[in-house]
Amino acid sequence: MDFSQVDTLVKALDVLATFVFALVGARVAADRGLDYGGITFIAAVASTTGGTLRNVALGIRPNWISNPWILGSIVLAVFITIVLRTTKPIGKFLLLMDTFGLAVAAISGAQIALFYKAPWYGAIVLGVITAIAGGLLRDLLCQVEPVVLHRETLATSSLIGASIFVLLEQTTLNHNWTALSGGIAVMAVRGISIYFDLHLPKLNKKN
């Protein structure tokens, strides 16, 4: 895959993941009673933090600086949230969208890291950071317990998906199939953990 193809693919995936994360972030902010400015800020933080950290680590310009579609997708997500005027907790549809965004972010994060010659373990870590950093900061700013730290195996599913993608990229399999396999793994692990209420084990407090 040449640079133009990778560049176009990554930009498209970043816009898609940005919109999904911005929409979920805006809903969380609305549910916490933030004003329009707060909703916009949280949507922007939730949707751009992961990709920005990834690009900074790779020594390249964050995508939202040069790609107006990134900012446009955030504005659209905020507009939809305000127009619908709903402050209900995140429902199944948005949870499904968030899971899809998680898969897209994890794989695109690992993909761009590999393209810029990051070692395999670096690509996996950057894939995970791309997927979860925005949601973590979103929850901290909204003063809710971060989802990534206690349920839904967000980091675990991102780690598994990014690892599968990076591993398969070392084979002769078509790039599209490796990306699809990694993305499906992310969605499957998180979906199963939500459906069956599965979580990583915790340390029990001693009396």
Q: Is 132 among the domain residues?
A: yes
Q: Which domain holds residue 28?
A: 3-195
Q: Is 204 among the domain residues?
A: no
Q: What global pTM score does this model have?
A: 0.90
Q: Is 134 among the domain residues?
A: yes
Instruction: State the residue for tokens 């979920």.
Output: 24
- Digit-by-digit pLDDT tens for the chain (207 residues) are 444 555 576 678 778 889 999 999 999 999 999 999 999 999 999 999 999 999 999 999 998 898 899 999 999 999 999 998 766 666 677 788 889 999 999 999 999 999 999 999 999 999 999 999 999 999 999 998 888 876 668 899 999 999 999 999 999 998 889 999 999 999 999 999 888 888 788 777 766
Q: Is 47 among the domain residues?
A: yes
Q: Is 39 among the domain residues?
A: yes
Q: Among residues 50, 181, 174, which one has the least CA distance to residue 112? A: 50
Q: Is 206 among the domain residues?
A: no
Q: Among residues 138, 132, 135, 185, which one has the least CA distance to residue 157? A: 185
Our count of domains for the chain comes to 1
Per-residue pLDDT at 3: 44
Q: Is 11 among the domain residues?
A: yes
Q: Is 129 among the domain residues?
A: yes
